[in-house]
Amino acid sequence: MNSPSETENTLMEREIHDICQRHQSVVIKKDDNKITIASSELPNDDLLSALRFISGRIVNVEIWPRAKIESVLHQNISLNHLPEEEASLLPLTTDINADENDAPVIQLINQTLLTAIQRRASDIHFEPFQQGYRIRIRVDGALHLLSSPSPQMNASIAARLKIMAKLNIAEKRLPQDGQFDWYDARHNYAIRMATLPTIHGEKVVLRILNTMRQLSLDQLGIPDQLLNQLQQKLGLPQGMILVTGPTGSGKTVTLYSCLQYLNQNKKNICSVEDPVEIPLNGINQTQTNSKIELNFAKVLRALLRQDPDIIMVGEIRDSETAEISVKAAQTGHLVLSTLHTNSTVDTLSRLQNLGISGYMAASCIKLIIAQRLVRKLCLHCRNQQTEETIINIGNNSLFIKQWLAVGCEHCFSGYYGRTAIYEFLEITYEIQQVLSEQNPQNIKNIIMTQRKDTLLSSGILLVEQGITTLEEIYQVTGQEE
C-alpha cells in the first residue's frame, strides 16, 4: 500500500504531465530543485506559472523540433526513462559550461532570444543602470522595452553571454566582440555580440543574423526597370558595383542577393568580409581577423592570386582597400562592395577622399546603388486619409492621399515589417567624361540631370501605393516636410 506522500507525488507528477500535454510540451528531466521541459516554442506564462506552483521547483525550457515533441507525445513515452541520447536530442538552446546556479540566467537569455526572434528583432540590448536593468529589442528599426530583470543579474548576464561567444569573462574594462550560433526549431541564427564597459557595468548588444534567410534579387523590392538594369551590370565581365547607405540600411542583404544571383559553377566567386554574416554554399568566403592583422587589403591581395571571376568586398573602409578594389575591377574582375555614404553623389566624393581619382573611378564603376529601409504600414489597421496632400519634388507637385499608421493587436505600432527604397546611378559615358575632368560641381550637375529616381521619389511612390507613410520617408531620407 502506498504511503500518503507517495500518492501525493504520483498525483503531482500526473498533473504536471497533463499540464504539459495540454500545452504541447513534455518533461525531460527532473530533480529535487529543478524541472526541465521541452517545447517547440517559447511557453506562455500560464504554463510556467502552473508548473512552478505545482512542483515547487525552478522550470527550465529547451526548444525541440515540433516533430520530436509530437512523436514523444504520440508514443506516450515515460521521459524519466528516456535514453540519454534521446533526452538531449537537439536541445536547441546554447548551454555551454552551465552551472546549476546559472539556471535563472540561462533561462532568461534563452527566452529573450526566442522572444526577440519571434518578434522579428534585429538587435537585443542588455543595459545596466544604477537603479535597474533593461532589455530592449529593435524591431523594424525602433527599440522596444522587452523586460526589466533584477539589477543583481547584471554581471551574470554579461558573463553568461561572454561564455557563449567564447570571450574573456575576466576582462570587463575593454570592449569585446564575438559571435555564437543559436538555434530554434526552424532556423540557425548567427549572433554577433559586442560588449561596452559603462559606469554601471557591461552593456551587451546582440545582432541577430538569420543564416537560413532566402536571398533573391526578386525579393528585394527593386522596381522592374531598375532590377533589369542591375542584372545587366551583374552580367558584365569586369567593373565595380557599389551599394551605399548608412548602417542598418540593408546593404549586406542586397550584396548577398547579388552574389546568389551570380552563384554558378562556371564562376569562381570569392569574398572578404568582417564578419561573414551569411554562409553561402559555392562561394569562397574569408573573414578578416584583426588579432592576426588579417585585414581587407591583405585578404584582397591573396584573393587576386586565387583566379577569381567575381570578388565581393564587405566594405571599402580605407585607401588601401579602395585602391586594390579599383585595380581589380580594372583588370578583368567584377567587384561588388559597399560604402557608408548617404547618396550616389556622395559616393563619388568619398572615393576621391580615399585617393581614387576621377579617372580611375570613371574607368571601373558601372553602377552605384543608394538605399534605405522604411517601415511598412500594417495591412490590418492602416487608414487612408480623405484629403489630398501636396508634395513638391524638384519642380513637380504631386497630389496624393496619405495613409496613416494606426496600431492594432497585430502590429502594436501601425507598422509591420520593412522594405527598401532605392536610388540608382548608372555611370554613363557623359558621367565618365565629367569624372575625368575632376570638377566636383560639374559632376554634381550632370548627375542631377541624368539621375532618374532619387530616394525621395522612390519613397513617395510607396506612399502613393499605401505601403508606408510620408513621415517615414522624410525620416529615413533626411528630407524636411
The pLDDT of residue 162 is: 94
Give the residue numbers spanning the domain of 409. 217-477
- The answer to whether the CB of 230 falls within 8 A of the CB of 222 is yes
* Inside any domain, residue 94: no
Asked whether residue 253 falls in the same domain as residue 338, the answer is yes
70 and 128 housed in the same domain:
no
237 has pLDDT over 60: yes
Residues 283 and 376 in one domain: yes
Structural domain tally of the chain? 3
Residue 132 lies in a domain: yes
Report residue 91's pLDDT band, with 50, 70 and 90 as the boundaries. Answer: very low
User: Do 340 and 430 have their domain in common?
Assistant: yes
110 conformational bin, left if phi > 0, alpha if psi -120 to 50, beta if neither: alpha
439's grid cell: 570638377
Q: Is the pLDDT of residue 412 over 70?
A: yes
Supply the pLDDT for residue 35: 86
Evaluated on CA atoms 120, 123, 129, 133, the torsion sign reads: positive
pLDDT at 77 over 50: no
* Residue predicted with more confidence, 274 or 98: 274
pLDDT over 90 (residue 399): no
The CATH number that applies at residue 37 is 3.30.300
Angle between helices 251-262 and 224-234 (to 10 degrees): 60
227 and 193 in a single domain? The answer is: no
Q: What is the mean pLDDT of residues 293-319?
A: 96
Residues 127, 74 share a domain: no
User: Which run of H or E residues covers position 472?
Assistant: helix 470-477
In a domain, 259, yes or no: yes
* Res 62: pLDDT: 81
- DSSP state letters, 288-339: -BGGGTB-HHHHHHHHTTS--SEEEES---SHHHHHHHHHHHHTT-EEEEEE
pLDDT value, residue 396: 73
Same domain, 254 and 357: yes
Q: Which long-range contacts (CB under 8 A, 24 or more apart) does 135-141 make?
A: 140/375, 140/413, 140/415, 140/416, 140/417, 140/418, 141/248, 141/373, 141/375, 141/418
CATH number at residue 421: 3.40.50.300
Q: Which of 75-79, 195-199, 279-283 has the highest mean pLDDT?
A: 195-199
Task: Name the 3-class secondary structure at 147.
Answer: strand
Same-domain status, 231 and 351: yes
Which of 40, 58, 89 represents a domain boundary (last residue)? 89
Residues 131 and 224 grouped into a single domain: no
Where is the domain boundary, 210, 233, 249?
A: 210
In a domain, 97, yes or no: no
Instruction: Give the tens place of pLDDT for each residue, 198-216.
Output: 999 999 999 998 777 778 9
Task: Report the range of poorest mean pLDDT among 150-154, 220-224, 437-441.
Answer: 437-441
The helix or strand, by DSSP H or E, that contains position 451, with its residue range, turns out to be none
Give the CATH number of the domain where residue 134 resides: 3.30.450.90
User: 386 and 259 share a domain?
Assistant: yes
Please tell me whether residues 391 and 440 are part of one structural domain. Answer: yes
**Residues 461 and 315 reside in one and the same domain:** yes
Question: Do the domain assignments include residue 439?
Answer: yes
In a domain, 237, yes or no: yes
